[in-house]
Each structure stands twice: as structure tokens, then as C-alpha cells.
Amino acid sequence: MKLKLPSIPLYMIAALLFGLKTYIVYRFMFNIELENPMQEFILLVNPFVSAFLIFAISVWFNKTSRQMKFIRYVTLFLTLIVFANLVFYRQFTDFITIPQLFMGSNMSDLGSSILTLIKPYDILLFIDAAIIWYLSKKQESMLAVDYPKSGKVFALAMSLVLLSGNFFLAEMERPQLFTRAFDREYLVKNIGLFNYHVYDLVVHSKTESQRVFADGNELPEIQEFVDENVRVDEHSNMFGAAEGKNVIFINAESLQQFVINNQVNGEEVTPFLNRLIDNEDTYYFDNFYEQTGQGNTSDSEFLVENSLYPLSRGAVFFTHGSNEYNGLPEILNEEGYTSAVLHSNNKSFWNRDGMYESLGIDQFYGEESYELTEENTIGWGLKDKPFFEQSIKYLRSMEQPFYSKFITLTNHFPFEMSEEDTSIDAYDSNSATLNNYFPAVRYMDEAIEEFFTQLKESGLYEDSIIVIMGDHIGISANHNKAMSMYLDKDQITPYDQVQLQRVPLFIHIPGNGNGEVISEVTGQIDMKPTLLSLLGIEVENDIYFGNDVFSKDRKGYIALRNGDFVSDEYISTVGICYDRQTGEPVQSKIESEEENQKKTKVANACLPIQEKVEAELAYSDNLIYGDLFRFVDVGAEDEELFEND
């Protein structure tokens, strides 16, 4: 006796199975914050709405074989999209964008990093695809449909009605969702992964056309905003404190602030950096935030060199590496400085060779400039200790004064370490990533200490300022359970997650003698104006969004790339306004005239800053997408500020 299946069309079975699978991934594999029952409901329905819309297209195929083929191949294709996003999310707590698909040249260098993100149970994601494949082959006559034209139109109309309902609920829950879409998690949470990808494609097409139609008329509005909200007329008391000195900038890979002055297994994680904080020549900033997007290290470089925000989608080094900029190296070149980047990696990674030319960097010492052996390499390339040791000869050969940037590699995910380079034991938690992070950080700390010794022996130390900056976080939100264990917290809240975006900033000026710990809110966007101020360099008509970190007259907030912000008083994230000092949501008692009683509501204290943050991010994006610096004559008189090519 043959098993008789219920007469449910295959496209409906596929939509139900795929919707259920996608919801399970949303709920239990992505770390999506849900704040209320409505968000839970929207998250539940949106994968089924998307799946029904996509699979209902199959009813328009008249031939059964074509209908079945469409359903099975679409199921497999969509599953691969879910899988790719899941692997990406495990590392970056983010979703793939169209620009990142053009960054495939980086994939060959990721190697074991990607393999560590793939789990054996990921094969379960393909179970529904296997079921659909089997049914489409063995039961096609029973599960195919042959609707009349009215039935096909009805299926399409029903799909669009469900989609409209989803969008209506999303707009109710998150007003202006599409016009204020800085945070991809909000989009996925409200409209679903696949509608997000369609939205991303539309945005990508729109932004690609911006440069074509840009004519420079956008600049006066941007300049007015910068002059009113960002620019500071008075110099800080550190203006010219390092005039004429070399600048040695260390981009410390994945170094986060939580390890500074902290221990693991009773051992200091960063003993040298801890001592450096107490050095009389060091200024240490303990509320300094990374502001990168999907470009990670390349985004931190972009922030430092331009005091512009990276893009919310992809890496600006890739997508707009041929733009014109008024980068820090170019400005310093005009003041007699030579510039170089030292990084033991290939020049095509992050499109550095193209971007460095646009920024005005004179020399890039890449992997071909170093002697790499099996003993002195691990993970992503040359270990930090031999990297610094082999780099000294290049510093000595540079014409002074110079601006040099070192980009370290060893403290990089997945934080591999050889036994002979390990000075402290790994942490013990459920996260191998966090466990291995501490020995890797210690190794980098030791490498930087040796580099200081080498600088002194080379005679360069006294004539240089040394800046050490964490480039981006190393431990993503996917490891929050282990992180809460290490930090002795019940859980990592959204407030804590923002605080974990603090990275160390050391500005060491030999002979200064007035070093201190500075706790004002600062960020990577501030590095360009800070370095120019320290070197005593003024630039007319430049457009940037940071402040000198030593200035007392600052804008008072730091914008994060996803639209969150940190101000002197508040932290705004996931739609909640927190008190920065206490970590508690800001609440106030408000008298209700209609009900004549007091109600507790979340105060709108964050709203004025939020509006500035959104404007600032949008203006920065416009400068990049429109390639607007080609219309700016930096350093000219005001009436010559805006010139067409």
C-alpha cells in the first residue's frame, strides 16, 4: 500500500519548511535583540511571508517539470544565502551586503578563519532542501499545481498583501525604518533576511549613481553643518606639542580596552601597556571608541586618515578606493613629511594599494618587504615580534620627519598561537575564541615593548611621538556568554555591548612629562584633527567630523557606524537611551494632561543628539558616495572653496 500524501502544493510545503527553518536560525543562531512581544511576532511571521512570496512564483510555470525545478533550486539557493549569512554573522555579528560580495579577493587570505566558523550541525540547514528535492522528483504529479490565471493572480496578490502587512507592522514598530536604516539588524528583524537583501540591492544601485549626478552643490550644506556642530576655533593646550616630530602609529589588531589593567588566571594580560599608562610621557584615553563598519581594520585606517565615517555597507577601501580625499598623509606631505605603511600582508588585501595612492601615502612595505619563514609566521602572516624587528631598518631609512603606520597581525581571529610564543595560559570558558584571545594579546604586548626598546636603540625614540590604537573589537557579541563570565556579569546587556567597543588609545610623547589618563568620550574619528594639532598644523576649509581629543570644546558625542552613539551623559543603542555612568535606562516622571496622572516614560534626552548623529553619518556618506572632495579646493580662500572639475 502506497503512502498517499495530503494534497498540499509543493510550493506551500517549501514555504512552510523554509519559513520555519529561517525562524529557527533567526531565533537561536543570530543574536537578535527582541524588546517586546510585537518584535517577537514580526520576527516569527516575516520568514514565512518572504518564503510564500518567493515560492508562489512557481505557480506561473505551466509545465510541471519547470515548476518542480524552480522550487528545488530556489530552496537550495535560499538555503545557501542563509548559511552564508550565518557564517558571516558568527564572526562579525552582522549581515552580508552587496559591496562585500565584491570583496572576494580577501577570501583567499581568510583560510582557517572561515573553517573555524563552520559547525558540523550546519548540515541540518539543508534538511528541508533535501526533502523538497526528494518530493519534487518522486511526487511531482501530486504536488504540482495548475491554477487558472485567476488563481495565479490570487496567489501573487495574497503574497503582496502579506508582504504589505509585514511592512506595515514593521513601520509601526520602527518608524522610518527604511529612511533611517543605519542598523542592518533592525532591517532583518522587521522585514526578514531576504527582503533585507533586496533592499540592500536597491540602496547599492542608488548609491552607485550618486557620483554620476554629483556636481558639488551638496558641499555648502555639509560645510555649514560641520562649521556649526563640529569645528572648534580655539587650539587646545597641546597644539604644537610635537611639532616637527616623527609620528609612529601602531594599529593594534583587535585590541580592546577590557584587557587593559586586567588579569586572566591571576596574570596581567598587558603588563607593558599597563606600565605605559603610568609613564609621565603618556596620555591614555579610557573612553575611546572604535567606530568601524564592515571594513574592520581598513575602516579604522579610513577613520584615522580622513576623520570621515566608513560606509555602513562594505568596506570603503574597496568600494570607493579611487575617490579623491584630503587624507592626513597628503596634508603631512605638504608640510614636508614622508609617509609609509608597514604591514606584512599583500597589497591587494582590502585594496590597500589603490586606497593608499588616493590617500597620498608614499610607501607601502607589504609582505614582499619581509623575510617570512615557517618559524616566524602564524595565522595571518608574520608574527608581531619579527615584524617590528624587521621594520626598524625601514624606519631608519625614511627621510625625517616621517609619518609611519604599523599594522599588527598576530592578535587576529582565530587568535592562533604557537606554544613557544605563549606566555600566559588561555582562559577557560565555553568560547575558544575568548580563551585564546588573552595569550594572543599578551604576545602583542610583549612585541610592542620590544619595539619601544628597538626605537630607543635606533635613536628614533626621542624625535618621535608614538600612538597605539586598538583598531576594532576582537570578541564579537556571539561570545557574550563567555564574556559575561569573564567580566563577572549576569549577562551582557546592550549597554555593555556598546561599552565593549572601547579600544585603547595611547599617545606617548617622549620628554613631555605631563601625561595623564583622560576619560572624556573620544573615538577614532578624532585622530586626524588630534595629530594635526599635536604637530602644530592648521588646514583651511577641510571637511571632517572629529575633534582634537585634547580640546575642551568638543561636540560631546561619538557616533557609531550603526547609528548608535555615546555622549558625555548618555548611550543610545537598540532604541534605548541609557545613562552612561550607571548603565540604567533614562526615565523621567511626566505629567499627563489627558489622564491627569503621572506616567513613567523613557525620556527623549537622547533625541537631539540622535538627530545630529544621523545627519553626520548621512553627510559623511554623501561625501564618499558622491566623491565630493574632487570639488573641494582645500586650503584655498573661502570664495574658492567649491570648484567644479
Q: Which residues are catalytic?
A: 297
Amino acid letter at 635? G
Do residues 32 and 185 touch, judged by C-beta distance below 8 A? yes
Helix (H, G, I), strand (E, B) or coil at 382: strand
**Residue 381 forms beta bridges with which residues?**
378
Which single residue is written with the C-alpha cell 551582557?
A: 492
Distance CA 49, CA 441 (A): 46
CB atoms within 10 A of CB 557: 23
Do residues 447 and 385 touch, judged by C-beta distance below 8 A? yes
Question: CA nearest 365: which of 332, 331, 388?
Answer: 388
Q: Which three cell numbers stand for residue 262?
A: 586586567
Do residues 380 and 345 touch, judged by C-beta distance below 8 A? yes
Question: CA nearest 508: which of 217, 171, 249, 219?
Answer: 249
Distance CA 102, CA 469 (A): 28
Q: Which three cell numbers stand for residue 360?
A: 597620498
Distance CA 220, CA 216 (A): 8
Phi, then psi, of 461 in degrees rounded to 5 = -60, -50
Alpha helices in 421-490 (DSSP H): 432-458, 480-486
Angle at 269 between CA 394 and CA 409, to 5 degrees: 35
Distance CA 479, CA 349 (A): 27
Task: Give the β-pairing of 464-470 and 505-508.
Answer: antiparallel
**Element containing residue 380 per DSSP (H, E):** none
Q: Which three cell numbers stand for residue 318?
A: 574597496
Amino acid letter at 462? E
Distance CA 355, CA 440 (A): 29
Distance CA 476, CA 256 (A): 11
Helix (H, G, I), strand (E, B) or coil at 467: strand
Distance CA 270, CA 276 (A): 10
